[in-house]
Structure 1
């Protein structure tokens, strides 16, 4: 069952703003209590909703997305900030030479909200981000661990049954693809969901990559109920139980969202 926000950009933007204002920004503010003048970049910024509360607090922001149509939507929502020079919106690959040349060691904060689980070569990305941070810089990640009930993003399915079935993304690949086809999912949806089989990331894998890339974890937060589920499933956000946080691997199955702040160990 496709949710209304999947086709309604304005609703999606409003939900992003509220979620960022109430959960993302307060988490980051524990490390960056003064937002005014903070240099912030979001990778995969979409409509710009996550950045909006940071702009409201006076941060100097850059939003980057591979899809020009989403950048155009962001310009529609945030045109005043673009016009004032407080916000720069770019449709570009962050690995492009000219992008790196302009933004090397530029940012206090880099944001990846619901993005890392879609990106191949995650170890390459996290290593690369160090080169975009200034000496005090940190990176925020918010993502659903792969093994959790809807870690495969099956809520985007057209079928109401599939969109609510937990853990189906953990089926063997041929069986999972066959199930999606049997319920009549569009080929583009199947392609997107199957790509997530390759890029979905667990708590342990993320922390292993961060450590191997020379980062230290400065803050982490586990959610039993992802704050964004307020809009998807009408569920009240809830942090994970303390005892569950300490059980490696098992915690992935019952933690619907992780927030992290990481910084290079040399900082």
Structure 2
């Protein structure tokens, strides 16, 4: 088992491998990725996902709030930066100008494990149309809020809380008490995720309301990233389960979506 957040370089390498083996093949099932394709990743961290696209001949821009992660990425992607294949923008995406800061529109926008951390999700999803080239696509990968660890409770220092499923669904006062009592360092972050966590149904509703069509989607019983965390291969959700609204959120650990503007 690998503890994700303890070794950022290892996490970077895992993101590259996961994107190469799962994210890019998923996108290519309905949208070709060609050399020269422009890719924007919002909340890119160190740029591991973008690196997988760069390896395919794409050019990438990564937007990230946390400077420390960008500095790591600049170190690990030095050659690609020097070639001009990738660049980073340390900025709030809402304050980024598509021409001045990002260099123009994009064929693909990627949000992997990001949308569940965004407070005003309809605003961001609607606004991203201004970044898309004609015919462009937006990829989302996220854990549904109600899934066993949708509260990101694995961040807890307390060993019991970090491995206890579904307790993030408790009423907020009880949840806050448990975090404050047994894992105070993670309390603020996990309560924030409780506010922003998103379900499958809510995501699809926002997408429709903001004028997009869902081009492609895949639900996973076992998140592909578990291959590196637990040694478990990604397993797609059973058709009968993924067709049951609400219930599917509790037993689906990851969803992939590709959407396009109407």
**TM bucket normalised to smaller:** over 0.9
For residue 144 of structure 1, report the CA deviation from its aligned partner: 0.1
Q: Is the contact between residue 155 and residue 162 of structure 1 (CA under 8 Å) also seen in structure 2?
A: yes
> In the alignment, what sits opposite 1:129?
128
Q: Is the contact between residue 3 and residue 229 of structure 2 (CA under 8 Å) also seen in structure 1?
A: no
Question: What CA distance in whole angstroms lies between the structure 1 residues aligned with 2:30 and 2:15?
Answer: 21
Question: What CA distance in whole angstroms lies between the structure 1 residues aligned with 2:153 and 2:133?
Answer: 37
State whether structure 2 residue 196 is matched by structure 1 residue 186.
Answer: no
> In the alignment, what sits opposite 2:116?
117
For residue 98 of structure 1, report the CA deviation from its aligned partner: 3.6
Total equivalences in the alignment: 262
Question: What CA distance in whole angstroms lies between the structure 2 residues aligned with 1:170 and 1:238?
Answer: 24
Q: Provide runs of 4+ in structure 1 moved above 6 Å.
A: none
Residue aligned with 1:221, SS: strand
Residue aligned with 2:92, SS: coil
Q: Is the contact between residue 100 and residue 132 of structure 1 (CA under 8 Å) also seen in structure 2?
A: no
> In the alignment, what sits opposite 1:209?
206
Structure 1 range deviating more: 87-96 or 201-210: 87-96
List runs of 5+ in structure 2 lacking aligned partners.
none
Q: Is the contact between residue 35 and residue 54 of structure 1 (CA under 8 Å) also seen in structure 2?
A: no
State whether structure 2 residue 226 is matched by structure 1 residue 229.
Answer: yes
1:1-267 equivalences in 2 (<5 Å) = 4-96=3-95, 98-99=97-98, 101-103=100-102, 106-183=105-182, 185-187=183-185, 189-265=186-262
Q: Is the contact between residue 214 and residue 260 of structure 2 (CA under 8 Å) also seen in structure 1?
A: yes
Q: Is the contact between residue 220 and residue 261 of structure 1 (CA under 8 Å) also seen in structure 2?
A: yes
Q: Is the contact between residue 105 and residue 131 of structure 1 (CA under 8 Å) also seen in structure 2?
A: no
Q: Is the contact between residue 109 and residue 133 of structure 1 (CA under 8 Å) also seen in structure 2?
A: yes
Q: Is the contact between residue 110 and residue 139 of structure 2 (CA under 8 Å) also seen in structure 1?
A: yes
The 1:186/1:13 distance shift into structure 2, 3 A limit, reads same
Residue aligned with 2:93, SS: coil
For residue 31 of structure 1, report the CA deviation from its aligned partner: 2.9
Question: What CA distance in whole angstroms lies between the structure 2 residues aligned with 1:4 and 1:150?
Answer: 15
Give the TM-score of the pair, scaled to structure 2.
0.96
For the aligned residue pairs, the C-alpha RMSD in angstroms reads 1.6
Give the TM-score of the pair, scaled to structure 1.
0.94
Q: Is the contact between residue 61 and residue 102 of structure 2 (CA under 8 Å) also seen in structure 1?
A: no
Q: Is the contact between residue 156 and residue 163 of structure 1 (CA under 8 Å) also seen in structure 2?
A: yes
Question: What CA distance in whole angstroms lies between the structure 1 residues aligned with 2:93 and 2:211?
Answer: 20
Q: Is the contact between residue 200 and residue 249 of structure 2 (CA under 8 Å) also seen in structure 1?
A: yes
Question: What CA distance in whole angstroms lies between the structure 1 residues aligned with 2:230 and 2:159?
Answer: 12
Question: What CA distance in whole angstroms lies between the structure 2 residues aligned with 1:127 and 1:105?
Answer: 18
Residue aligned with 1:57, SS: coil
